[in-house]
Chains A and B, each alone.
Chain A
Amino acid sequence: MTSAHTASAPAEAEPQLQTPLTHRSLPRRAAPAVLLVALLAGLGLRLAGLALAWSAILAAVGYTVAIYSWSRAVEGTRKAFDRMVTAIVTSAFLLALLPLVSVLWTVVDRGSGRFDSEFFSYSMRGIVGEGGGAHHAIIGTLIVTGIAALISVPVGMLTAIYLVEYGRGRLARYITFFVDVMTGVPSIVAGLFAYALFELFYEAGVRMGIMGSVALSVLMIPIVVRSTEEMLKLVPNELREASYALAVPKWRTILRVVLPTAVAGIATGITLAIARVIGETAPLLVTAGVTASDNFNPFDGRMATLSVFSYNEYRSPGVPPEPSFDRAWAAALTLILIVMLLNLVARLISRLFAPKTRA
């Protein structure tokens, strides 16, 4: 079968040609079996006293080496390499899940200790040692982030509208470029900017809630611009043209046709932007500062926020430190719950209102 035509066909070593389609291959359940052995070995190491993480890593390495050598002996190098890459890629993924699980578990475990009604109804005024709460910090976080949103949402949305509906030429290119640049501004630099700005008008060492809002706005505006821009671009041009054809002026077209079509996506983007900045610590540390008491006036003096509260409890604990650490973790838990809630809300918004775009 081969001899007649190989003369004209390209020459190549053809060891497999007699039984071309079947290879010697590992038994069907080879991979799960090896995996099971590796897991049992890992469990053994764990029981022998090795830390969980190290046992898991050793089990993964053991599995990879075992499946590679076995497959190489039976199936050849190509198949073996493929199996090895599969093992590596999968273990790398699991490895990356490890810190996430550890972070979430620790926050819930250590945070739930002080996650009580006192924590939500008391400030730290006059508290030494146990007790006290983050009432002032929770309200402060809401105020600071709320004002930041009030600044960022209009500016961000209008900029996005400019870029999508009006922007042509050099100005639009500059704005697009600098929005990208702004996305990368380190949060601490945003804080220093807000400080430097307010120091011009007030005395040195000034701390106010509104400064924190300004700093957060610098971080939030580019996120709002980006997400709104993406959503506006998804609105089909036919809709705009249909509206123009009815002699609706451009600004009404944008307000009545374009924005309502994209509203779900925009709302989702804004919610995610809020979730992103509500957990910021560094810019608030240098602007809103730290205080133990309730202060709900953003224009007058220091204002506590959850993240800074958590940092402060960790950084300067009392003696013994445990009550402070517990409060720090409880604040972390509160913060993560707020962030998760916002993410959930964002998904709900996009799911509930999305079908409005029937393009």
Chain B
Amino acid sequence: MAKRIEVKGLDIYYDKFLAVQGVSMTIRPKAVTALIGPSGCGKSTFLRTLNRMHELVPKARVEGKVLMDDQDLYGANVDPVSVRRHIGMVFQRPNPFPTMSIYDNVAAGVKLNSKRMKRADLDDLVERSLKSANLWEEVKDRLGKPGSGLSGGQQQRLCIARAIAVQPDVLLMDEPCSALDPISTQAIEDLMLDLKSQYTIVIVTHNMQQAARVSDVTGFFNLKAVGEPGGLVEIDDTETIFSTPSNRATEDYISGRFG
């Protein structure tokens, strides 16, 4: 299922304001790609263009190409709804639907796509998704309870279960651990390592240690200067970025001289 994403010369705008300029990169399938960089450098904005969530902001738009296995996500006949169906997203703060039970939260995406699913199949799917998200053991006795009753870390894993229940090709994570305690963070990081055997994962993080721990490839985003648009400085194997980066700014950032 995991697919390769290729970004070619992507410029991201909010109305007339150019937020991110000239990003080109290849995102490998079945690997974790981490995007790091100082606040406001456009890494979250970039992430949201990968499943066309960016255009939910009024007048926001992009120029350039994003190819998923040679299909342009911004092509003429492409429906943003199906793009999001194939590229799942996990958000900074866990956001289970407050009025739905744990079970219904996991099943929510599937119910949209195939209305007539047998109860047994659905049960099966919910169980497998929750197991993949390492949450099954903790919630199997209270699937009918509201999702908002879980702890923050559990809620975030519930959101991951919800995202993978629709079998996306790619999973985007926008600082998924920034609202969580260290133990929950550990659980999510373990989960990412499990999931990368099946999915292409892109994660935005503020935490360089986290990037070093979980990712195979790391991209560094930075502002060219104050008031200038952000952009991708370099992208390489995580090991290389953290040991011998080719760019001076990257070295300064990962050694903690700014950011």
Contacts and interface: CB of A to CB of B under 8 A. Distances in A.
A22 B79 contact: yes
B81 to A, nearest CB: 8
Nearest to A2: B1
A12 B167 contact: yes
Nearest to B115: A77
Interface of A: 1-2, 5-6, 8-14, 16, 20-23, 25, 78-79
B114 A13 contact: yes
Nearest to A28: B76
Contacts of A79: 79, 81
Given A6-B1, A8-B198, A16-B82, A21 B71 contact: yes
6 contacts: A1-B1, A5-B1, A12-B125, A21-B75, A22-B71, A22-B78
Contacts of B125: 10-12
Contacts, number: 58
Contacts of A16: 82
B160 interface: no
B3 to A, nearest CB: 8
A79 B113 CA distance: 11
Interface of B: 1-3, 68-69, 71, 73, 75, 77-79, 81-83, 85-86, 110, 112-114, 121, 124-125, 128-129, 164-165, 167, 169, 198
The 9 closest A-B pairs by CB, nearest first: A22-B77, A10-B125, A21-B78, A10-B128, A20-B86, A5-B1, A21-B71, A23-B79, A21-B82
B196 to A, nearest CB: 12
Contact of A12 (B2, B82, B114): B114
Given A11-B121, A20-B86, A78 B79 contact: no
* Most chain B CB atoms below 10 A, which of A9, A14, A21: A21
A23 B113 CA distance: 14
A236 B81 CA distance: 43
Contacts of B81: 79
A9 B165 contact: no
A11 B118 CA distance: 12
A22 B75 contact: yes
* Most chain B CB atoms below 10 A, which of A1, A12, A25: A12
